[in-house]
């Protein structure tokens, strides 16, 4: 893997060759929305590329801005679409709460629609129901000739739900997924069973009382 600094330089050089006024299509880079428990670790957030018709995205760079007081970025892994094109993802924490990410490779392969990076976060027990925005900034996409491709960014968020220990494994869903809350239907089924068992017990008690001989009959 090339050093992160070299990747940034190469990508910047590619973008610098862009000829303004060229008719190219726009592409969309999207950060997923996920849910997680207050103290969840390795919360996985996908960053997805959707090239527009005619786009051939070969290199990607962007900044991701987040709340560093309760959210810690721990790692960035290569997404499936990027890996299929022979690219790898790397990152650098520029300042607390702002990380620069690069997806590139020593080839001219274009990246298809799908995940280009999987960003992992640790949560430091923020309050439940709190929403932590994951904001995209300074998006740079390039084609195989180093020409810049106009890009549209869609920011995402991590929503903290439930209490301590609830939702083990949450936040590890695929792009744009929101993990399900505990099933209310399951809770209702258990409550129904308790009511049924209670009713049966009352019937058995009543039946036993009828069969028991009264004191005057002894």
Q: What is the pLDDT of residue 71?
A: 92
- Between 67 and 192, the more confident residue is 67
Provide the pLDDT for residue 162.
Answer: 76
Confidence of residue 2 (pLDDT cuts 50, 70, 90): very low
Share of the chain above pLDDT 70, in %: 63
pLDDT score for 54: 82
Q: Using 50, 70 and 90 to split pLDDT, how confident is the model at 125?
A: confident
Residue 53 pLDDT grade (very low, low, confident, very high; cuts 50, 70, 90):
confident
CA distance 6 to 25: 28
Per-residue confidence at 3, pLDDT binned at 50, 70, 90?
A: low
Nearest-angstrom CA–CA distance, 58 and 215 = 94
| Burial of residue 42 (number of CB atoms within 10 Å: 0-12, 13-18, 19+) | middle
Per-residue pLDDT tens digits for 110-122: 999 999 999 999 9
In this predicted structure, what is the pLDDT of residue 5?
A: 55
Question: Per-residue confidence at 8, pLDDT binned at 50, 70, 90?
Answer: low
Q: Contact at 8 Å (CB) between 115 and 79?
A: yes
Q: Express each pLDDT in 142-197 by its tens digit.
A: 999 999 999 999 999 999 987 644 444 434 333 333 222 333 333 333 333 333 33
Share of the chain above pLDDT 90, in %: 55
Q: What is the rounded average pLDDT of the residues 51-67? A: 93
Task: Write down the pLDDT at residue 179.
Answer: 28
Q: Which of 190, 95, 166, 108 is nearest to 137 (CA)?
A: 95
With bands split at pLDDT 50, 70 and 90, how would you rate the model's confidence at 203?
A: very low
């Amino acid at each position: 893997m090339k050093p992160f600094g070299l990747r940034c330089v190469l990508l910047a050089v590619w973008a610098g060759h862009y000829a303004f006024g060229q008719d190219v299509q726009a592409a969309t880079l999207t950060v997923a929305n996920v849910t997680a428990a207050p103290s969840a670790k390795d919360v996985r957030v996908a960053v997805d590329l959707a090239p527009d018709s005619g786009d051939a995205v070969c290199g990607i760079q962007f900044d991701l801005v987040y709340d560093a007081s309760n959210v810690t970025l721990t790692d960035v892994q290569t997404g499936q679409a990027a890996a299929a094109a022979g690219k790898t993802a790397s990152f650098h924490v520029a300042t607390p709460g702002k990380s620069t990410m690069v997806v590139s490779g020593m080839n001219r392969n274009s990246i298809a629609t799908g995940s280009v990076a999987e960003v992992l976060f640790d949560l430091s027990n923020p309050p439940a129901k709190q929403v932590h925005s994951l904001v995209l900034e300074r998006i740079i996409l390039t084609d195989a000739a180093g020409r810049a491709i106009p890009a549209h960014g869609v920011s995402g968020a991590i929503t903290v739900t439930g209490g301590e220990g609830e939702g083990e494994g949450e936040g590890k869903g695929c792009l744009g997924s929101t993990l399900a809350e505990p099933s209310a239907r399951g809770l209702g089924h258990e409550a129904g069973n308790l009511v049924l068992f209670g009713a049966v017990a009352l019937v058995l008690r009543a039946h036993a009382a009828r069969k028991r001989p009264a004191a005057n009959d002894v």
